[in-house]
């Protein structure tokens, strides 16, 4: 049995098609990543699979249960961390945890060994109001509340957005511990370093899936020449590159611009053209693609 199965899922808000025939599967015990920009449809997909809204088309099952017909049973077996902090800010850490345990009809002690590695990190602040916690501690409290009833499937919608790099790394270490316990996870993230830590990833844009594969498999899909371009006038270089023939796409990428080029693109001739136009200290070198580059290439082809 698959942990999650979606078949041609669709959802529309007024005139906006939020999801357009999305199909994918998550294996039991898999850590599956969903990668896409704001407005791509990630949160809509999470809300459908956690039975908060119903689809306009298609079907889906979670733990072998239909998301429409069996919504009550699904809510008992999943844990959900929405993108925004959704706990009660005026309740303390321990009060929030006790409240969510009561919602599911369990005691904290029943599943304490599951949340203990996480809860011990925030236990010194157990009497502090949740609204007064740091971003990293809020994240850990939310994860504890999502796990207090021992779910078999965990949904995490951009759980580390706005959190410092150390807390992000600690959070993913926790996810690997949960994966080792057999918990299946669907995680959305805007961070490409986190995407590389997933077993498989799906790239989503404008409500449609662009590709599903392992992080390594996704990278192998990049087939066109890729270059890193830098120089004194980075903005001017961006404008010129976007006008030049032989360049399919140019976009800022850290300290350089990345160029997706055609097979007959001549970087040496391009640098000479730039020098003739007054650009100085221009450097263009071949570079290896990242998941961001694959995403942009697929968006361009779409």
In CATH, the number for domain 4-219 is: 3.40.50.300
DSSP for 49-66 reads HTTSS--SEEEEEETTEE
Angle among Cα 196, 197, 202 to the nearest 5 degrees reads 60
Level-2 CATH architecture, domain 226-301: 2-Layer Sandwich (3.30)
CA dist 176 → 170, 172, 183, 185 (Å): 10, 6, 10, 10
Enter the pTM of the model: 0.88
pLDDT tens digits for range 32-54? 999 988 888 999 999 999 999 99
Across residues 4-14, what is the average pLDDT? 95
**Taking the domains of the chain in order of start, what are their residue ranges?**
4-219, 226-301
The set of residues, in sequence order, having a beta carbon less than 8 Å from that of 229 and lying 6+ positions away, is 237, 241, 250, 256, 257, 258, 259, 282, 283, 284
Question: What is the model's pLDDT at position 301?
Answer: 61
pLDDT tens digits for range 90-125? 999 999 999 999 989 999 999 899 999 889 889 999
Instruction: List alpha helices for the chain, DSSP H.
Output: 42-49, 71-77, 93-103, 112-122, 135-147, 165-180, 192-195, 215-219, 234-243, 267-276, 291-301
Give pairs for 240-245: CB < 8 Å, separation 24+. 240/274, 240/277, 240/279, 244/270, 244/273
- Residue 163, pLDDT > 80, answer no
CA separation for the pair 30, 10 (Å, rounded): 24
Kindly report the number of other CB atoms within 10 A of residue 140's CB atom. Answer: 24
- Residue 87, pLDDT > 90, answer no
Q: Could you tell me what percent of the chain has a pLDDT over 70?
A: 99
Question: What is the model's pLDDT at position 135?
Answer: 85
DSSP for 3-29 reads SEEEEEEEEEETTEEEEEEEEEEE-TT
- Residue 24, pLDDT > 70, answer yes
Q: Dihedral through CA 133, CA 134, CA 136, CA 141, nearest 10?
A: 10
Question: What is the model's pLDDT at position 295?
Answer: 87
């Amino acid at each position: 049995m698959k942990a999650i199965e979606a078949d041609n899922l669709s959802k529309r808000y007024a005139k906006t098609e939020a999801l357009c025939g999305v199909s994918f599967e998550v294996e039991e015990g898999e850590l599956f990543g969903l990668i896409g920009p704001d407005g791509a449809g990630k949160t809509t997909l999470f809300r459908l699979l956690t039975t908060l809204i119903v689809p306009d088309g298609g079907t889906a099952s979670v733990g072998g249960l239909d998301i429409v017909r069996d919504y009550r049973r699904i809510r008992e077996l999943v844990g959900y961390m929405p993108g925004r902090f959704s706990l009660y800010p005026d309740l303390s850490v321990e009060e929030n945890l006790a409240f969510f345990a009561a919602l599911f009809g369990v005691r904290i002690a029943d599943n304490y060994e599951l949340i203990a590695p996480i809860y011990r990190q925030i236990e010194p602040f157990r009497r502090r109001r949740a609204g007064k916690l740091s971003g990293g501690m809020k994240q850990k409290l939310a994860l504890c509340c999502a796990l207090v009833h021992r779910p078999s499937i965990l949904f995490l919608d951009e759980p580390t957005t706005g959190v410092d790099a150390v807390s992000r790394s600690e959070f993913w270490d926790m996810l690997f511990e949960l994966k080792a316990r057999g918990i299946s996870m669907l995680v959305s993230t805007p961070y490409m370093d986190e995407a590389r830590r997933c077993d498989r990833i799906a790239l989503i844009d404008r409500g449609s899936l662009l590709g599903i594969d392992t992080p390594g498999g996704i990278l192998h899909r990049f087939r066109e020449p890729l270059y890193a371009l830098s120089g004194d006038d980075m903005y001017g270089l961006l404008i010129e590159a976007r006008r030049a023939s032989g360049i399919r796409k140019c976009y800022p990428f850290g300290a350089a611009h990345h160029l997706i080029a055609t097979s007959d693109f001549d970087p040496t001739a391009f640098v000479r053209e730039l020098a003739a136009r007054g650009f100085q200290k221009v450097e263009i070198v071949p570079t290896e693609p990242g998941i961001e580059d694959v995403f942009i290439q697929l968006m361009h082809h779409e």
